[in-house]
Amino acid sequence: MNTNDALYTYCVRLADTAVILSQRFCEWCGHGPILEEDIAMSNMGLDLIGQARGFYAYAAALENKGRSEDDIAFHRNEREFTNRCMVEQPNYDFAYTMVRSFLHGAAAYLQYRELTKSGDETVSGLAAKSLKEMTYHVRHSSEWLIRLGDGTDESKVRVQNAVDDLWQFTDELFEMDEVDQMLIRNGIACDLTQLRQEWDQMVDEVFSKAGITKPAPGGFQSKGGMKGMHSEHLGHLLSEMQFLQRAYPDAKW
């Protein structure tokens, strides 16, 4: 593996996570609990598609095999997707979607903040753009966590259940491998383990305002998304997301 291959993999991972989360947000379109939230989730989904496009397009250029951003997004199977497993989990309910948006968003915010200092100009540029968007995604979801956690008996139960269930995917948000290590050495990527403490502080601050109990450490943690190991939900998501491009290859708008 050379730096070019590592950077390709790194960019595809970031893009995969963004595009899969985007797809989950977009599933709410027309089904939001209120019109404003329907619009909010579609808007955030759109931001994430934009972020994914940027990283896919850069990956395609690095690979230099004539593939486009669409080819990478729509012509790979689930074992080839390298997103964090948290984002592929079904929406279940609004609380679950907001908790995921917050837990993932806070980690993505910190990662992009560090990547703005990347030695790779394209990565730092895309990170600067994405950072601004993750800032208000986290603001949006953190405010909902507080409202739900400090809300009715029903909303408290739902938001706590979502936290308890999604917690098993939190360690994975900081998982790294040889790709990260190589790019850290080259000044391109950032060390996620060094961001964990700050992420915990963000989580603690919001959970304490919301009255949410943080799950005790030591529970089961799911890992492996970056290596293509996924839950059963990803295949179903892809069958919908990729349908048009699979049924009508190279279809254009």
Partner 1 sequence: MSGSSHPDTARIWDILNEIPDPEVPAISIVELGVVREVNRVEQGTEVVMTPTYSGCPAMKAMEDAVRERMKEEGIEVSIRIVYKPAWTTDWMSETTKAKLKAYGIAPPPKLTFEHLHPLSSTKGTEVKCPFCDSKQTRLTSQFGSTACKALYYCEGCQQPFEHFKCH
Question: Which DSSP letter does residue 219 get?
Answer: S
Q: Mask of contacts with partner 1, 86-125, x by CB under 8 A?
A: -------------------xx--x-----------xx-xx
Longest alpha-carbon distance in the chain: 55
Asked whether position 205 contacts partner 1 by CB under 8 A, the answer is yes
> Which residue lies nearer to partner 1 by CB, 48 or 72?
48
Q: Which two tokens stand for residue 197?
A: 């403490």
Question: Which DSSP letter does residue 226 get?
Answer: G
Q: Which two tokens stand for residue 240?
A: 């919908």
Asked whether position 207 contacts partner 1 by CB under 8 A, the answer is no
> Which residue lies nearer to partner 1 by CB, 11 or 182?
11
Q: How far is CA 32 from CA 17, 22, 91, 94, 156, in A?
A: 22, 15, 11, 8, 19
Smallest distance from partner 1 to CB 37, Å: 8
Distance CA(74)–CA(116), nearest Å, equals 28
Smallest distance from partner 1 to CB 60, Å: 15
Q: Tell how far CA 116 is from the center of its chain.
A: 18
Among candidates 35, 44, 168, 53, which has minimal Cα distance to 98?
Answer: 44
Of 142-161, which residues contact partner 1 (CB under 8 A)? Answer: 142-143
Of 36-95, which residues contact partner 1 (CB under 8 A)? Answer: 36, 39-40, 43-51, 53-54
What residues make contact with partner 1 under the rule CB under 8 A? 36, 39-40, 43-51, 53-54, 105-106, 109, 121-122, 124-126, 128-140, 142-143, 202, 205-206
